[in-house]
A and B are shown apart, each in its own frame.
Chain A
């Protein structure tokens, strides 16, 4: 890849980072740093997604200054309003709203591809480097490679004992979300080697295997907290974990935008796009594949996309006999001690 012409921030995993990369920019997923969001409360509303309030608070405090621009997506009502308030109250060099269809069918793929073509043109303008077909093909290959390596790592997590700790793998994934993958390839390789060489059963009691399912979460220390409580986390079905890496873009398609549109709409989806029955089927499948003892289902507070699905998922998992703990979170996990108590009780229940 050519030298980066700067960072381009994005908020939703529906944004194809390959297009950002092919414009010579480094895609950076916008992590929210602000734990207290009073500033955002006055511009948005207290009953809004805490991730959105956190990143907006950062923005008001100049937190996007290392980005040349920002890419929003029509992911949910909250994200649409985040785009609006950002445009109205924060001076940014470049702001783009990507149309992301909510349906997954041929008309949606065709429409999304048309929007990605425009996105590529705008990225080119923002960076001063036109997105060419060879550059896009190279970016697709590069991103596919990184995601493929991460998928391999996740696959190795089916072993017991766990080759790589869940928190370590999650942290690595977050690093990739904050770049184009080139800086992390060495670490992924060494972890793969480490994982491939492991797998001998440890003496003593097997650890409880917990899967974390939800949408946006970027606190490895919460994973660590669960691990410290005596569990291991082979798999995390999150927008910011496994789901991000499960996309495979067709490198030989005649139209790369169509290939990208297909891959991004067709990959495992969050509850914004997926029907609850689809989410349940995926969780259930992963429970079997990763020999999961219990599921920690977590949702950002006020995330309608997820909140509506939770009763359905809890009911279906209970019917299956899959132990599940539901934890609403405020994105920054200010109440982690309270959550620790609940997790510990859940693990005790699983042990017994």
Chain B
């Protein structure tokens, strides 16, 4: 079923791109293509996490990377009711509704045989406990090995060495599973390519500081989740450069309807919601997402494993809340914000438990802060009426401060 959806998705996007070539459409085409590649019998399929695993390492091999979370959770964008039916399968098997819908849906899809096969399952310890747990459960389901990249809290020599050692081991494991030779020079080339892409992305992040910013901004947040799937591949740089070009043109055209600039924290729901509609109607622009901020810095290709380790360690969701707050403060300083919206999926424990600390930190900046309860994928836990009520009240607050 998933394969059918991706095929339809790609076909529709290809047509749209032919009619109007846009970089964001190209990014979505790449997403569908990567997922479809994982269904090919001649490919080695490595399950991974696009947004938390250093994808340059996978780009150094001829493999099809597959993110089980994102892949399964594209489903609600196609059909939220079918997604609920699939989650029901996982719930019937004993997975509590207290567990993140992202993972219930992935488990349900696996149980129903919708996912491609896995040759090796890679995950990371950060972002959430549930991701690595699901990865391990699914590894058992497919009878394959699962490895979680363990990322410590602190950035210090010992932790960089520890993560780098794990990445070396993972490189060896991919080589073993796929029968390919690990080529250090190819990894260095992937890092070189990635550095160029990230520089291009940096230009885009700079443009988002322009007031008024001409895009509604949800793709900014989404891109920070799945954009990393292309890290280490040439096409990533091209897509970012095209986005920069498109943004420049749009800014030059003027007439941006932006009235309020907000920072979006945590994730965007993947199920259809009324958020975009409300934002568009009221001139609200998401100018930055906390994971879309350029936090990684340049990677040193002469120390590829250590550089990839540092990329992981610098993620705002690693470590204490201090690392996350530091990033938020930096965005506030740079992006002229009117408000901050924190999308809150109740199963996302670490993010929800940070709400008060973030709220208190924002009080010091005197910036309105909204905790928007909802769910990423489960329509049973999302109320359009409540969302409208909360967002319109929040917009009123921002308006009162103009």
> Which residues from chain B contact A84 at a C-beta distance below 8 Å?
320-322, 353-354, 357
Contact with A along B340-354 (1 / 0, CB 8 A): 000000110110111
Q: Is B400 an interface residue (CB 8 A)?
A: no
Which partner residue on chain A sits nearest B147 by CB separation? A103
Of A165-173, A218-226, A247-255, A309-317, the stretch lying at the interface with chain B is: A309-317
Q: Is A193 an interface residue (CB 8 A)?
A: no
Minimum CB–CB distance from B354 to chain A (whole Å) comes to 6
Q: Cβ of B137 and Cβ of A97 under 8 Å apart? A: no
- The answer to whether B357 and A45 touch across the interface, beta carbons within 8 angstroms, is no
**A68 to B256 alpha-carbon distance, docked (Å):** 57
Is the CB–CB distance between B150 and A103 below 8 Å?
Answer: yes
Cβ of A94 under 8 Å from chain B: no
In the complex, which residues of chain A have a beta carbon less than 8 angstroms from the beta carbon of B148?
102-103
- Could you tell me if B152 and A88 are in contact, using CB atoms closer than 8 angstroms? no
The answer on a CB contact under 8 Å between B356 and A311 is no
A44→B357 CA distance, assembly (Å): 9
Q: For the complex, give the distance between the alpha carbons of A312 and B349 in Å.
A: 22
State which residues 52-105 of A face B: CB under 8 Å: 74, 76-78, 80-81, 83-85, 87-88, 97, 99, 101-103, 105
B355 touches A308 (CB 8 A): no
Q: How large is the interface on A (under 10, 10 to 19, 20 to 34, 35 or more residues)?
A: 35 or more
Output the least CB separation between B61 and chain A (Å). 21
Task: Tell me which of A88, A105, A271, A308 contacts B103 (CB under 8 A).
Answer: A308
B13-59 contacts to A, CB under 8 A, are: none
Residue of A nearest to B324 (CB): A84
Q: Which residues of B contact A110 (CB under 8 A)?
A: 162
Closest to A97 in B: B153
Q: Counting CB contacts under 8 A, is A142 at the interface?
A: no
Partner-contacting stretch, out of B92-100, B245-253, B264-272? B92-100
In the complex, the answer to whether A80 meets B350 with C-beta atoms within 8 Å is yes
If the complex has contacts A107-B162, A108-B162, A307-B99, are A80 and B136 also in contact, measured as CB distance less than 8 A? no
CA gap between A305 and B355 in the complex, in Å: 22
Query: Is B159 within 8 A of A99, CB to CB?
Result: yes
**B94 lies within 8 A of A47 (CB):** no
B133 touches A114 (CB 8 A): no
Residues of A within 8 A of B356 (CB): 42-44, 85
In the assembled complex, which residues on chain A have CB atoms less than 8 Å from the CB atom of B360?
Answer: 88
Contact B154 A99 (CB under 8 A): yes
A43 proximity list for chain B (CB < 8 A): 356
How distant is the Cα of A277 from the Cα of B146 in the complex, in angstroms?
12
Q: Which listed residue (B137, B159, B349, B352) contacts A308, Cβ 8 A?
A: B137
Report whether over half of chain B's contact residues are helix, strand or loop; otherwise say mixed.
helix
Interface residue range, chain B: 35 or more
Asked whether any CB of chain B lies closer than 8 Å to the CB of A275, the reply is yes
Contacts of B321 in A (CB 8 A): 81, 84, 88
Find chain B residues with CB under 8 A from A99 CB. 152-154, 159
Q: Answer whether A111 and B158 are a contact pair too, CB < 8 Å, given A74-B153, A76-B129, A77-B129.
A: yes
Question: Do the beta carbons of B99 and A304 come within 8 Å of each other?
Answer: yes
Does residue A302 face the partner (Cβ distance < 8 Å to B)? yes
Distance A312 CA – B133 CA, assembled complex (angstroms): 12
The reply on A115 being an interface residue by CB < 8 A is yes
| B165 close to chain A: CB less than 8 A | yes
- A277: contacting residue among B133, B140, B154, B158, CB under 8 A: B140
Residues in chain A near residue B322, CB distance under 8 A? 84
Closest 9 interchain pairs by CB?
A: A311-B94, A81-B353, A77-B350, A111-B162, A45-B352, A308-B133, A107-B165, A84-B321, A114-B158
The 16 listed contacts between A and B (C-beta, < 8 Å) are A44-B352, A47-B349, A76-B129, A81-B354, A84-B322, A97-B153, A99-B153, A99-B154, A103-B150, A103-B166, A111-B161, A275-B146, A276-B137, A307-B98, A308-B95, A308-B103
Give B residues with C-beta under 8 Å from A.
93-96, 98-100, 103, 125, 128-130, 132-134, 136-137, 140, 146, 148, 150, 152-154, 158-159, 161-162, 165-166, 169, 320-322, 346-347, 349-350, 352-357, 360
Q: A residues bordering B, Cβ < 8 Å?
A: 42-45, 47-49, 74, 76-78, 80-81, 83-85, 87-88, 97, 99, 101-103, 105, 107-108, 110-111, 114-115, 271-272, 275-277, 301-302, 304-305, 307-312, 314-315
